[in-house]
Amino acid sequence: SQQGEEDPQALSIQEGENATMNCSYKTSINNLQWYRQNSGRGLVHLILIRSNEREKHSGRLRVTLDTSKKSSSLLITASRAADTASYFCATSKGGAQKLVFGQGTRLTINP
């Protein structure tokens, strides 16, 4: 079963604005990852944050992790039309490599 929940389920903003997506999970984790999926395509890995990290940056992406609240956020700054996609958080636990995905946020960037 999916343990992650993301909000909002859908987000529509203007190009150039920042987009923030949140993810919550229920059990302890090793790490949390964010993926992007363009419509009808496979997943692209964006960023991984470990359970002992609080914040991580990669280009226009900023991820935070609050293990006390079991939540994470993904911030995309200066959004572009090409950022239009679905974004999923995924967690792994213990030594397992398998991922449990959140429900995803469908992001639309309007030109």
Q: Does 102 bind another protein (CB under 8 A)?
A: yes
Q: How many contiguous H segments (helices) and E segments (strands) does the chain have?
A: 0, 11
Q: Does 3 bind another protein (CB under 8 A)?
A: no
Query: 79 with 21: CB under 8 angstroms?
Result: no
CB of 99 to another protein, least distance (A): 6
Question: Which amino acid is residue 49, in one-letter code?
Answer: I
Please say which residue, 31 or 64, places its beta carbon nearer to another protein: 31
Binding track over 62-81 against another protein, x by CB under 8 A? --------------------
Helix/strand/coil for 6 = strand
Burial status of residue 91 (CB atoms within 10 A of its CB: 0-12, 13-18, 19 or more): buried
Q: Does 7 bind another protein (CB under 8 A)?
A: no
Binding to another protein in span 30-59, by CB under 8 A: 30-31, 33, 35, 40-45, 48
Query: Hey, what are 48's tokens?
Result: 């991984």
Binding site for another protein (CB under 8 A): 1-2, 4, 30-31, 33, 35, 40-45, 48, 88, 92, 97-104, 106
